[in-house]
Structure 1
Amino acid sequence: MDRGLGFTEMFELPVAVDLRTAARALGVHPTTAYRLIRRGQFPCPVLRLGGRYRVPTAELMRVLGIEERPLYDVDPDEDDEGPDGPHTLF
């Protein structure tokens, strides 16, 4: 079985993922994920598009307890003030 997804990998996912990726993030085998869907017990909403399942990444992250927050590319070793003055987030 594949290892689970890391925290950084979660933030690199597209808007929706296939069922195998969702199962990997949840730490379950894909066969178990399909079984849970058939029973209506998968822990987050699943979309069926044609013959394929897609899981919205935002819902997957919510189930995993990962909040969506904007990420800023700020070097933690950089001084609080750059050439344009102090860094602000808004």
Structure 2
Amino acid sequence: MATIEMSRDELLGLPVTVDVVVAGRALGFGRTVAYELVKRGQFPVRVLRLGSKFRVSRADLLRYLGEADEQSGSEAA
């Protein structure tokens, strides 16, 4: 299954945290690659482990991608 890229509007509309699959999609790769990078400790942004689940902060994701986080008022440096 091909990875479908995320539009800027979708990216800016993400909730405060997203799962690794959604974060991977925003970064341009699929589920398998996303989990492999998490497993190796090489996911491009900070990954939070909550029990058996992994979450990525929208703010961290937007910062990495160089996008302003309009909902929190922060902007990439």
TM-score scaled by length of structure 1? 0.71
What is the Cα deviation at residue 41 of structure 1? 0.8
Note the residue ranges of structure 1 that are not aligned, 5 or more in a row.
Answer: 71-90
Q: Match of 1:57?
A: 58
What is the Cα deviation at residue 20 of structure 1? 0.9
Instruction: State the AA in 2 paired with 1:64.
Output: L
Larger relative contact order (Cα-Cα within 8 Å, sequence gap ≥ 6): 2
Q: Give secondary structure in 2 for the equivalent of 1:54.
A: strand
Q: Match of 1:7?
A: 8
1:14–1:69 CA distance, 2 compared to 1 (3 A): closer
Segments of 4+ moved more than 4 angstroms: none
The structure that is helix-richer by fraction is 2
Instruction: State the AA in 1 paired with 2:44.
Output: P
Q: Match of 1:23?
A: 24
Once the two structures are aligned, what percentage of the paired residues are identical?
A: 46
Contact 2:12 2:70 in 1 (8 A): no
What is the Cα deviation at residue 2 of structure 1? 3.4
Cα separation, 1, equivalents of 2:21 and 2:69: 22
RMSD value, Cα: 1.3
Note the residue ranges of structure 2 that are not aligned, 5 or more in a row.
Answer: 72-77
Count of residue correspondences:
70
What is the Cα deviation at residue 63 of structure 1? 1.1
What is the Cα deviation at residue 40 of structure 1? 1.1
